[in-house]
Structure 1
Amino acid sequence: MIDPRRLRVLKALADHGTVTAAAKILYMSPSAVSQQLAALETETGHELLERRGRMVRLTATGTVLAGYATEIAAHLERAEADLAAVTEGLAGTVTVAAFSTAITEVVAPAMAALGTRAPQVRVRVKDAEGPVGQRLVLDGEADIAIAVEHRDTLGRNGDSLLRRPLYDEPFDALLPPGHPIAERTAADLTALAGDPWITPWPGNPVHDVVLRACEDAGFQPEVLCLSDDFRAVCALVAAGAGVALVPRSALHTFKPAGVVVRPVAGRSPVRRVFTAVRRGSERHPLLNPVFEALRESADQLTTLGALPRIKAE
């Protein structure tokens, strides 16, 4: 008989890659995690881990069993959701992890709407850039993540999280006054190949989008300044430090002074934003009004003209 509690330990190792990381998430010591995994190997009669010095990785058998562990975790999430539905659990707290622009443009308006429509639903917000929000959801420290699609989106946790498109938005070019192409109606990226660039830090999905857009235009940008704060990026562009690409919604609530904003000529790079929840938890009744409010906020961005009508795929 396989102890399902040990499957939870195996899933944590599969999700986080190391015994130390799994132990931290499970609030266990690394030695206790190792003992649980050794006991699971005894229960199954199979080697589940390959040990190479201090490093471990799942064997083929371990990978198969970890897949079942993920399915069992999803079933437990569904069971909790159905129990909550039976008791009409429409009061409680939902934690949303999101990057800063999404908090400003989507989460905050959704909270205001919920305050009137469903005051019994309390929303707690955590600022989380890059893949951090998804990790918070995976670890049970958040219920919903709002994140950006990038190369790490479909990593080892693809089976544990359910992702749904929320909105897509194009990037606009920021140019200093007097730039040679500032008078054009749209910015051709090839004309910016010789300029210094300002981007978010590596690890921020926007950084990856900008670099990929430049590479598609046939050049490698010279990144001179790094900042995850779009107001700071605007200030640096206005000071003549370089050019930049920023998501359109980042400029919605303020007009950057001393900066020329132009759409990108041709096919603009796009930031694809999605929500992520633990698979199975999407049926929890507390999440339904929050999802509805988030969707309405995202749609309102388009209605107000902050975003074009790009259909999320």
Structure 2
Amino acid sequence: MKPFSLAYMIDHRLHVLQALAEHGTVTATAGALHLTPSAVSQQLRLLARDLGVELLRPDGRRVLLTPAAHIVLRHAGALRTQWEAAQAELAQQGASTQGTLRMCGVSSALAALGAPAAVRLRETHPLVESLIVEEESSECYRMLLGDETDVALVLPGPDAPPVTDARFEQTLLLTDRQDLLVPEGHRLARPEGVELAEAAGQSWIVKRPNNDTYPLVMAACTAAGFTPRITHQVKEWYAVSSLVAEGFGVCLMPRIVPLPQLAVTRVPLRGTPVPVRRFLTAVRRGSAAHPLVAAALHALREAASAHAAAPES
């Protein structure tokens, strides 16, 4: 989207300080920014030198942010927001909406919402090119902050920034119910539906690391009063469904994911609460008024409305 990167106008070392405030340690910050710990430390030392203040204080193996660092962080956030708003206002001066719109998100959201939205953009704004990247939600937030994407389709989880995080504008796009996926002929394959607690004794299929689905499954099962016995750690929906079809376990299947042509049954879940996934759009605060971003958000809302109105298969 940008004719040039945010880093050209705002000291990139402020982003490093913001990342440290979020991740807590130099090592974690380096991993999040794809830098070495020594590079992170050096950039923060140079920033402190140039500002003439102390930003960090050692605390054992960790570092603590000083009061001066918190002042810098407060103004850094305001600078980023103001710069995004300035770029949006400048872009509004153009006669037509054009350029490259970068979108990232989890696979199911991109398939059901991102792809249709990109088609709508192509039809309504032929001078706009969409570039789409599949990532888990945590990486999408990082990409937004790193100015590597413009719009993210995310699933909020326990490690996600809260909707009140001043760095982002996050808006609910779609609430997606989850069903229980079982093999055909399974005792729980009842068309009237089942309580999730009835699946407490089943083997469960879900990948633990780097998977937005895992905390949602754990939260749903905990609310139903049990801890799932996870046997196979698989992430991609077709692979999960294939294992379910062969009787290796059960899983939660989002409504937004099409049912594959396999010997499986999607069973509605009854009771309270019914497990759902909430998809949000996330953009950098101040950027929503940019014509490219606004057009993408509008297209995504149209795609979500069409999906919600479609009859269930």
Query: What range is the shorter-chain TM-score in?
Result: 0.7 to 0.9
Match of 2:268 in 1: 263
Q: Where do 5+ consecutive residues of structure 1 fail to align?
A: 308-313
Matches within 5 A, 1:159-238: 159-238=166-245
Q: 1:16 Cα shift?
A: 5.0
Q: 1:128 & 1:22 partners in 2: Cα distance?
A: 14
Contact 2:16–2:40 at 8 Å: present in 1 too?
no
Match of 1:153 in 2: 160
Contact 2:97–2:128 at 8 Å: present in 1 too?
yes
Q: 1:155 & 1:39 partners in 2: Cα distance?
A: 32
Q: 1:114 & 1:4 partners in 2: Cα distance?
A: 30
Q: 2:32 & 2:221 partners in 1: Cα distance?
A: 38
Change (3 A) 1:33 1:48: same
Match of 1:104 in 2: 111
- Identity percentage over the alignment? 33
Q: Where do 5+ consecutive residues of structure 2 fail to align?
A: 1-8
Q: Quick check: 1:38 aligned with 2:57?
A: no
Residue type at the aligned position of 2:98: A
Matches within 5 A, 1:1-313: 5=11, 7-17=14-24, 18=26, 20-21=30-31, 24=34, 29-30=39-40, 32-40=42-50, 42=52, 44=53, 47-52=54-59, 55-88=62-95, 90-154=97-161, 158-251=165-258, 254-267=259-272, 268-306=274-312
Q: 1:175 & 1:23 partners in 2: Cα distance?
A: 40
Residue type at the aligned position of 1:29: A
Q: 1:115 & 1:222 partners in 2: Cα distance?
A: 45
Q: Deviations over 1:90-145 (max 9, x none)?
A: 11001000111111111111111222211111110001113111111110000111
Is the partner of 2:137 in helix, strand or coil? coil
Is the partner of 1:34 in helix, strand or coil? helix
Q: 1:11 Cα shift?
A: 3.0
Contact 2:190–2:267 at 8 Å: present in 1 too?
no
Q: 1:137 & 1:285 partners in 2: Cα distance?
A: 17
Number of residue pairs the alignment of both structures matches: 299
Match of 2:4 in 1: none
Q: 1:174 Cα shift?
A: 0.7
- The normalised TM-score by structure 1 is 0.86
Residue type at the aligned position of 2:309: T
Change (3 A) 1:112 1:184: closer
Change (3 A) 1:153 1:86: same
Is the partner of 1:86 in helix, strand or coil? coil
Change (3 A) 1:226 1:25: same
CA-based RMSD of the aligned residues comes to 2.6
Q: 2:60 & 2:306 partners in 1: Cα distance?
A: 54
Residue type at the aligned position of 1:262: V
Change (3 A) 1:110 1:240: same
Residue type at the aligned position of 1:79: A
- The normalised TM-score by structure 2 is 0.86
